[in-house]
Homo-oligomer: A and B are copies of this chain.
Amino acid sequence: MQYEKYHELKRHIAVDCVIFGYEQEQLKLLVFKRAIEPAKGKWSLIGGWVKEEESAEDAARRVLVNLTGLQDVFMEQVQTFSKPDRDPGGNVVTVSFYALVKVEKYSNQLIHEFGAQWINISELPQLIFDHDEMVARALEKLRLKSRYDLIGRQLLPEKFTITSLRNLYNEIFQKQFDPGNFRKKVLSLKVLERQEEKDMSESRKGAFYYKFNDIEEEGFNDPIFKRSF
């Protein structure tokens, strides 16, 4: 498990996690300043070794739980990277995952402990090895999912406004959705429930909070958003 040693061994299997969060109307990624060699001080994703008695999915979940304490985080496999020379420290095959977490639930203490930081998706520094490509592929996958599912359940707080949800989609697709049309579209999907309470912080009139309802976690057959972005 010690990084300094692994180059002596033959080939290892690891996971890396592309962790998305949504905070202050921005889509962010949790990145880490490496405390150890190689590439000490450089930015990277968080990862870990896959133990012999677990699957890559188990390992990724373990890494995430260890980092955040959160048990039921949405997570999906993205791609496996296996070029023998992709990690200068040794021959490492890495299965990458992306995760969607509610930033609010994070303990800031944990984050500092790991040298982690939430960074806006459009202001990312260069990451080590092929981690940039992992992020790019994860973002592609997130966009694809967002097109067929109404995501937000895993990223937004329990209660949120339609405007917040729209902003999330604006961030994901780097595009301004029309407020009126977006509202009608998502409400027509019948997965949101309006609450009594209003958010008064953003306007005089106030905006109703919504919650995701419990039924039908599964995606729709048709794309929600059919046009190119």
Contacts and interface: CB of A to CB of B under 8 A. Distances in A.
Contacts of A223: 223, 226
Given A56-B80, A144-B144, 18 more contacts: A11-B13, A13-B82, A13-B93, A50-B93, A52-B84, A55-B84, A56-B82, A56-B93, A57-B82, A80-B80, A80-B95, A82-B95, A221-B228, A221-B229, A222-B226, A222-B228, A223-B226, A226-B226
Interface residues on A, range: 20 to 34
* Secondary structure dominating the interface of A: loop
A91 B13 contact: no
Nearest to A94: B80
Given A57-B82, A82-B57, A226-B222, A52 B91 contact: yes
Contacts of A221: 228-229
Residue of A11, A220, A221, A228 with highest tally of chain B CB at under 10 A: A11
A53 interface: yes
Contacts of A220: 228
Interface string A26-61: 000000000000000000000000101111110000
B13 A13 contact: yes
A77 interface: yes
Contact of A10 (B52, B56, B80): B52
Contacts of A229: 221
